[in-house]
Amino acid sequence: MTRRDIEFDAEGVTLRGWFYTADGASGAAPTVVMAHGFSAVKEMYLDTYAESFAAAGLNALVFDNRNFGASDGSPRQEIDPWAQVRDYRHAITYATTLPEVDADRIGIWGSSYSGGHVLVVAAIDRRVKAVVSQVPLVSGQGNFRALVRADFIDGFRSQFDADRLARFQGDPPAMVPVVDEDPLAPSALPTPDSYRWFTETHKLRAPSWRNEVTLRSVEMFTEYEPASYLPYISPTPLLLMPAQNDVLTPTHLTIAAYEQARQPKKLQILPGGHFDAYVRGFEASSGPARDWFVEHLAP
């Protein structure tokens, strides 16, 4: 396995990441395209998944989302889910130009917010031949109402409207923390496990991560409904992996959404909570994903 830095154009924005060459490959090999979730950067354990896939004979193309990490784009720290969906498709296009890549054997992997993106991409882009969605966001409205107390929602909407007016008048975007030690304080991801994972992973391996996103990122999150695309993924094989006790992208929402997908599909319940998949539960999450891609992208 070798890793090299890559960059490619996405409608005028340069996206940057890594390309992992499959172990033992002679000629073009199957390839998995990967990006991270809400505000996260590629150093937040995407390398470990890519290494696992490469060891099994799969190339892996990992990139930072626009406006984050090593990638260009502005406003910085703004998350537009539809722009990120398009960027997955740009990454697929770029992958097909590489000599190491078999363009007829492309898989996509996503986790958390990007776990929602890959559901959309798999439904609308038939170049995708297998998809793995880990601890995904399936419903922006459902997730928003699960995380935010009902009596706080109108206050959030007032903030969204004020930010929209301020931006129209030329002011910079309003910002909000991604996480806060106090789950009742204003933040995009108001759960204790989110605060622990992001702050610890930032210190340990991802110095480029910043604890802020634009307020509009949160508004766009509430408008995003990836589950509506689930019926259209078939006949592309889908592996959906919710965590057993996920309080950030609630387990019951993902399991209910799974019922909307058609065959071929598989539901794999991961141990622990939302962030356990990356560290303590890494083997439990990476192994089934690796095996799914090997099964469905093999010659």
Residue with the larger pLDDT of the pair 27 and 233: 233
pLDDT of residue 130: 98
d(CA 213, CA 210) in angstroms, rounded, equals 8
d(CA 249, CA 256) in angstroms, rounded, equals 12
d(CA 84, CA 274) in angstroms, rounded, equals 21
DSSP codes of every residue in 138-205: --HHHHHHHHS-HHHHHHHHHHHHHHHHHHHTTPPPPEE-S--SSTTSS-SS--HHHHHHHHHHHHHH
Whether the per-residue pLDDT at 149 is higher than 90: the answer is no
Residue type at 105? R
Q: Where are the alpha helices (DSSP H) in 36-99?
A: 46-55, 81-96
Q: What percent of the chain has a predicted confidence (pLDDT) above 70?
A: 100
d(CA 122, CA 104) in angstroms, rounded, equals 14
Element (H, E) at 258: helix 251-258
* Reported confidence tier of residue 155, pLDDT bands at 50, 70, 90: confident
Whether the per-residue pLDDT at 210 is higher than 90: the answer is yes
On the CB side of 278, how many CA atoms lie within 13 Å of its CA? 22
Residue type at 240? L
Strands 101-111 and 59-63: unpaired
* Reported confidence tier of residue 206, pLDDT bands at 50, 70, 90: very high
pLDDT of residue 105: 98
d(CA 20, CA 233) in angstroms, rounded, equals 27
15 phi/psi in degrees, rounded to 5? -105, 140
d(CA 3, CA 62) in angstroms, rounded, equals 10
For the segment 256-293, what is each residue's pLDDT rounded down to a tens digit? 999 999 999 999 999 999 999 999 999 999 999 999 99
**CATH code, residues 2-140+224-297:** 3.40.50.1820
pLDDT of residue 150: 82
d(CA 58, CA 224) in angstroms, rounded, equals 31
pLDDT of residue 147: 83
pLDDT of residue 91: 98
Distances (CA, A) of 151 to 92, 114, 155, 255: 42, 29, 8, 27
